[in-house]
Structure 1
Amino acid sequence: MKKHGNTIAKVEFLQRSSANLRGKQSVRATFKLTERSIAALSVLAGQLGIKQKSLFDHVVDDDEGLKMIARQFENFSGSSRRVAKTYVISRKTLENLEQVASRYNTPRDALVEFSIERLLPLLEEERKKHEKRKMFLDKLKRYTEEGIGMLERAEKELGEDDPVFLEMLKMLKYVGGCCEAVEHHVEKGRKIENF
């Protein structure tokens, strides 16, 4: 009897696991969205360093958020120019989206667009951080230039074999690498400036 119970438990586990895996399976879905919404999703995913699929799933898979949008939905104006855009999303997200759209008689595209619109405050916050990153990058560059000047003086006054000079050289190499990494992050965030 114990063996039979283990078999049933394994079958139930496999059924739950396979249903869960099917929910995570990626599918393609096309939505008609404003160019602003498309750009917002792209820019924010790039800024946060995550895939658009992950961000899209996170935003649209929020069941309570979708229901709130659907309840408040009054008019999905067709006057704004919309573009068809295909996204790779999880099957679970798509099923949830279609379920809420059907239950509240709301266009899928409207739910997606208004879900993305909820990201705009986060995008604005990221834009402010980007401006601060640029300021810190400028200060880092000045700091590095001052360090190079000090290193040159140390080499002249102490010699290139002096332990203090060598430690300063190591430090500046490390700071230079950090400065390059910061510059890379700032460059990656340039898209947000034009949004």
Structure 2
Amino acid sequence: MLEGLFYLFAFCVILSGIMVISALNPVHSVLWLIVAFTSAAVLFILLEVDFIALIFLIVYVGAIAILFLFVIMMLNLTDLGSSFQDMSNYMPAGFIVGVIVFFEVLIFLSWKASGIPEVINYFRWDYIEKASNIEALGRVLYTDYYYLFLLASFILLAAMIGAIVLTHDIRAEIKRQDSFIQISRQLM
């Protein structure tokens, strides 16, 4: 029963992922993206990784996909899908990426069949079996991978500062607030 549900939602993720890149209307593409994220969250729930599933729903569906949808609607990009575009130029790149992913899956399956994961005891399975998912994820993230966590935060900070600098406009016709003039008016 659970295996059938797993394959159903895995097929749904693959199908909706294909529809994200093949939909001509940007709004339909974002809606298929929401379906892909939701199906991936159900897959995580079936794998009993509830924390990651909820993070998927909150961060990706609740924030990013809805943000994409609002940006598309505010910029009125819905008429871009009306003209048919030739997508055959992207087929070779998509085929190459698909072949690479297929061979990576084959390599992983060959490693799994040969028993290499039992030899490599990197993940401290004894601790993970005793702790909850959230505690184990927090310990690994904040102890073993803290430098990558800090690096990601600095990259996000640089992206935020870059977006502010790029959108900051210093034209003369824009009215700016001068607090000194406002305060001096009230004192007189």
TM-score, scaled relative to structure 2:
0.24
Higher helix share: 2
Higher strand share: 1
TM-score, scaled relative to structure 1:
0.24
Point out the structure with max Rg over C-alpha: 1
